[in-house]
Structures are given as structure tokens and as C-alpha cells.
Amino acid sequence: MDRAWIDGRPAAEADALAAAAELLERSRQPFVGGLRTDVSGIRAALGLARRIGAIVDHGESDAIYPLLTALRDGGAFLGAPAEMKRRADRVLVLGDEVAKVAPDLLAMLTETEPDLGVRTRGDAREFRSLCRAPLDSAGRGRAEHVDCAPEDIVDVVGLVRAKLSGRRAGEGAVGGDAVAGLAEFLKGAGFAAVVFAPAELGALGTEQVFGLVSDLNETTRASTLPVSASTNAMGAALQGAWTSGFPLRVGFGRGAAEHDAALFSARRQLSGDGEADLALIVDALAEPGAGGPPCALPQIAVTSEPGAVEGARVTFAVGAAGCDHDAVFYDARFGSFVGRPADAKSELPTAAAILDALADRLGGRVADAA
């Protein structure tokens, strides 16, 4: 079974490591991306990036950056789904993307009842949705829908905030009665959960939702449940934060980590319009992903897909994390990292093993350059 390729031709793993190391050594500005792997793989990728002075970003970070931007600028009340399942007596769903990217979360909330907290124990959970498609409440008849175009949701949230604070509020796109009804719904909650997809509302919309929940916590209890199509990107961002101090889009070109959300984005760097001249892309998950931005650069691929990656200078075959070997991943249900045992052990190396082997071959590039 072939495990490595150079320019599309099978090669010994040692030869492929030597070829990849030579490419990285000759690179003026390498980029390490994709990062579709487990905790060990992401940690190894960050270590390699620090060693060679690379720029680092996750291939799907566009999906989570509205959330990260709002968190960085103003903070937030964040809840875990498992917590909201037990505590939230009233749930507000904003936008249509929630049902697309987190149907299991909505099913969990609609099929269970809260059992923690004085004002929630024994009460049925109620729902409101502010979007185009009515929420499926599993036939329990406890969901009310306010029809709203996606582009108007953030304005309506602002009107609800004004209503809650006693300020004058217009009717907006949904009418004054609907705005007042949403405000009363949230105000009367023992514990409210606001569920939304930051990628749909954008950074400013996400900040508005965080502000709404902050307002509610002046008089009651409330939290947000942001959902994303890429929990792997969120896990990578958290790992980046505790490793470098920043949630990816990080550059190690001058040794210490530097953060620039625009300059170091994967989309910009891989397009060929950025500073990077070589990309190392890690794609080692069993489940399909969004694929990330297209790559116009020479590439080193670390992949769990069979065969050489088309156009890659060097390809390494690795096991799929959590499928071919035991792994740890970020799990949005718990807001933490959990272990996932392998379905069946494979003889293929892990992504972390290949990345660590590359780092060992390259030595202290940053220290030498300094």
C-alpha cells in the first residue's frame, strides 16, 4: 500500500519527508492550513508552523470568524447545548441556518423539558423563531413563528433590545406587536437561550445578539448558543488561543506569534495574492468538510483520502482521526473536548506523526534566521 508520493509518483516515506522538508526550507513564506484533524494533529501543525515561521489558519475559519470577532470585541454569555437542554425554559431561534447546520440541537431542545432551576422545573419549554421557515417543534404546539427576512433579523433584534430597556422602538420589518411579543417572551424567561448561526448574521449581528443577552442578564438569566457548520474550526481556534494566544490567523514569521484576521486568512494566502509561496494542507478527517478555499500555491498534502492529491508536490497518506486511530475533538454539545475511539485501527501514521517528523527534519529555522 502506497503511503507517500512525490509529484504524483509513489515514494518511500523517508524520501517524501526529505522532499517536503527541502520545499519548506526553500520557501520564503510557508502557509500551514486545512487543519482538519484532531487535537494532536493541530498541536503538531502549530508546532511545525512556529518552527518554520509559517502563517496558520483553518480552512473553514470563515464560518467562525464572525463569532470570534464579536467575542474579541465585547465578550459574551455562552452556553453549552447540554446545559441549555436542562435549564432553558424559553428558546429564541434566529435565522434559517440553525436548522441547516444544527438540526440535532433543535431536536434535542424540542424533545426534552428543562429540569433545573426554580422557574424551569416542571414547565414546558417554549420556542419563538425569527426567520423565514417556521420551527418544527415536534408537534408539541409550543413554537410561535415571526416571519422575517434574513437581512432584517439584526434590526429586529435591536428593536427588541430597545423595547426591553424601555426606549422608544419602531415597528421595523415585522411590526410593533411582534417586536413587543418577542421582548415579553424573553423578559418572562427563567432562563432564555438564543440560538443563531454567526456566519448568517455576521460579526455586527453576532455582537447585537450578545448585547441582547447581556441586557437580559440584568433582570433574568440568559445565554447564547452560537452554532457553526464547522466544529473542527472552532476546536482549532481554541487550540490556537491556548497555544499562541490568538485564535488562528496567526503568523510566526518573526518568531513570536502575530495575529491579523485579514492579512493571515487562508482565503487570502491560498489565492496567491498573499505572502505565502508554499502551502502545507492537512485534511485528515473521515467526515466530509466544506473543502476550504482553493489553493493556487505549490502544495504539500497530508491527507486521509486515498491516493496522491492532484497537483501536490508531495502527498502523505495518514489515518483518519477518530476513525483509523483514537482521537480527541472539540464537541459543541458539551462546549469542550472529548475522546473518540477508533472504529478500526490502521497501520497508516497519524497526521501528528508526519508533522512532527517534518519538524524534526527542519530543526530550528526560526532560531537560525534570528
Domain boundary among 194, 226, 258: 226
Q: Of 109, 171, 124, which Cα lies nearest the Cα of 146? A: 171
Q: Of 317, 275, 266, which Cα lies nearest the Cα of 295? A: 266
- Predicted pLDDT of residue 364: 55
CATH number of the domain bearing residue 264: 3.40.50.740
- Mark whether 40 and 79 lie in a shared domain: no
Q: Of 52, 12, 58, 4, which Cα lies nearest the Cα of 265? A: 58
Domain boundary among 163, 197, 226: 226
- Mark whether 83 and 201 lie in a shared domain: yes
- Predicted pLDDT of residue 133: 86
The whole model's pTM is what?
A: 0.86
List all residues 6 or more positions away from 232 whose beta carbon is below 8 Å from its beta carbon. 35, 36, 58, 60, 285, 289, 329, 330
- Mark whether 112 and 49 lie in a shared domain: no
Q: Of 145, 154, 155, which Cα lies nearest the Cα of 178? A: 145
- Mark whether 148 and 98 lie in a shared domain: yes
CB 19 within 8 A of CB 11: yes
- Mark whether 260 and 137 lie in a shared domain: no
- Predicted pLDDT of residue 340: 93
Residue 40: which domain range? 4-63+231-369
- Mark whether 73 and 17 lie in a shared domain: no
Q: How many Å apart are CA 334 and CA 265, to the nearest integer?
A: 28
Total domain count, the chain: 2
- Mark whether 219 and 78 lie in a shared domain: yes
Q: How many Å apart are CA 278 and CA 25, to the nearest integer?
A: 10
Given the DSSP bridges, would you call strands 9-10 and 30-36 parallel, antiparallel or unpaired? unpaired
- Predicted pLDDT of residue 161: 95
- Predicted pLDDT of residue 368: 40
- Mark whether 219 and 91 lie in a shared domain: yes
- Predicted pLDDT of residue 369: 36
- Mark whether 188 and 219 lie in a shared domain: yes
Q: What ranges make up the beta strands (E) of the chain?
A: 4-6, 9-10, 30-36, 55-56, 90-94, 126-131, 143-147, 191-196, 221-226, 250-251, 258-259, 278-283, 299-303, 314-317, 327-331, 336-340
- Predicted pLDDT of residue 370: 33
- Mark whether 257 and 182 lie in a shared domain: no
Domain boundary among 193, 226, 259: 226
Q: How many CB atoms lie within 10 A of CB 2?
A: 14
- Mark whether 245 and 284 lie in a shared domain: yes
Residue segments in the chain with a per-residue pLDDT below the cut of 50: 138-139, 141, 366-370
- Mark whether 70 and 197 lie in a shared domain: yes
18: exposed, middle or buried (C-beta count within 10 Å: 0-12, 13-18, 19+)?
Answer: middle
CATH number of the domain bearing residue 148: 3.40.228.10
